[in-house]
C-alpha cells in the first residue's frame, strides 16, 4: 500500500519542517505549503489529511477550510488545525468550518503521530 499523503500548511518554515520530520519518520508522505492559496494548489495531487495553521499571510486556515469543504475531492478529507490559537471562539469557528481536530503548538511528536494515526487508520 502506498504511503498516506499529508499536506502541512504553515508560514513558519520551522513548523513545516518539524511536522514533516515527525510524520516523515512515522512513514507518511509529506507535502508542504506556505499558505492557504499554496495549499489549494497542492491538494490537487490528492492528499489523505491536511494539517493547517490558522494565522497566515494571504489565505489563512479558516478560509482554506471553507474552500476545502467546497471541493468535491477534499470535502471529506480530515483537516487538523495546528495553531498557537487556544481561544474557544476560534475553535468553534473552525469546527463550524469543518475542522476535524484541533491541536495547539507546540506539539509533542508522539502525540501528533498518534493523532494522525487516529484519523488515517
Partner 1 sequence: MAGPAPTSLAGRAAAPMDAAAVLFHDAPLAIYLRAPDGSFLEVNRAMAQLFGYDSPGQFLEAMAAFPDQHYLDPASRRAVLDELAATGFVTGRQYQAMGRDGFVLWVEESARLVDAGGDEHYYFGYLRDITAEKSTKWALTEAEEKYRAIFEHAVEGLFQMTPAGRFVTVNDALCAMLGFPAATALTDDPEAAARLFVDDGTRRGLTLALEEADMVRALDAELRRADGTRIWVSIHARAVRDGNGRVVLHEGSMVDVTERRLSQEQLRQSLARTSLLFHQTVTSLSKTVRYRDPYTAGHQDSVSRLATAMARRLGLSADEAAGIRVAGQLHDIGKIVVPVRYLCKPGRLVGLEWEFMRQHAQAGYEILKEIDFPWPVAAVVWAHHERLDGSGYPRGLSGPDIPLGARILAVADVLDAMASNRPYRPALGVAAALEELARHRGTGFDAAAVDAARSVIRDGLIRY
Contacts of 85 (CB under 8 A, 6+ apart): 54, 55, 91, 104
Does position 115 interact with partner 1 (CB under 8 A)? The reply is yes
User: Which of residues 3, 13, 21, 75 is near partner 1 by CB under 8 A?
Assistant: 13
Looking from the CA of 32 toward its CB, the CA atoms found within 13 Å total 15
Grid cell 489549494 in the structure block, residue: 40
Asked if 34 and 64 touch (Cβ cutoff 8 Å), the reply is no
Judged by CB under 8 A, which stretch of 17-25, 42-50, 66-74, 111-119 contacts partner 1?
111-119
Q: Which helix (H) or strand (E) holds 11?
A: none
Q: Which of residues 37 and 103 has its CB atom nearest to partner 1 in the complex?
A: 103
Q: Which of residues 75 and 118 has its CB atom nearest to partner 1 in the complex?
A: 118
Does position 32 interact with partner 1 (CB under 8 A)? The reply is no
Does position 34 interact with partner 1 (CB under 8 A)? The reply is no
Grid cell 512515522 in the structure block, residue: 26
Question: x/- string (CB under 8 A) for partner 1, residues 64-93?
Answer: -------------------xxxx----x--
- Cell for 54? 490558522
Residues in contact with partner 1 by the rule CB under 8 A: 12-15, 83-86, 91, 95, 99-108, 110-111, 113-115
Amino acid at each position: 500500500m502506498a504511503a498516506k499523503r499529508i499536506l502541512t500548511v504553515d508560514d513558519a518554515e520551522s513548523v513545516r519542517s518539524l511536522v514533516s520530520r515527525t510524520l516523515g519518520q512515522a512513514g507518511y508522505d509529506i507535502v508542504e505549503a506556505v499558505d492557504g492559496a499554496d495549499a489549494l494548489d497542492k491538494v490537487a495531487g490528492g492528499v489523505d489529511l491536511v494539517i493547517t495553521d490558522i494565522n497566515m499571510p494571504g489565505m489563512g486556515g479558516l478560509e482554506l477550510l471553507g474552500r476545502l469543504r467546497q471541493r468535491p475531492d477534499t470535502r471529506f478529507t480530515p483537516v487538523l488545525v495546528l495553531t498557537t490559537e487556544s481561544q474557544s471562539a476560534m475553535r468553534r469557528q473552525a469546527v463550524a468550518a469543518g475542522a476535524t481536530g484541533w491541536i495547539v503548538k507546540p506539539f509533542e511528536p508522539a502525540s501528533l503521530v498518534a493523532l494522525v494515526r487516529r484519523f488515517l487508520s
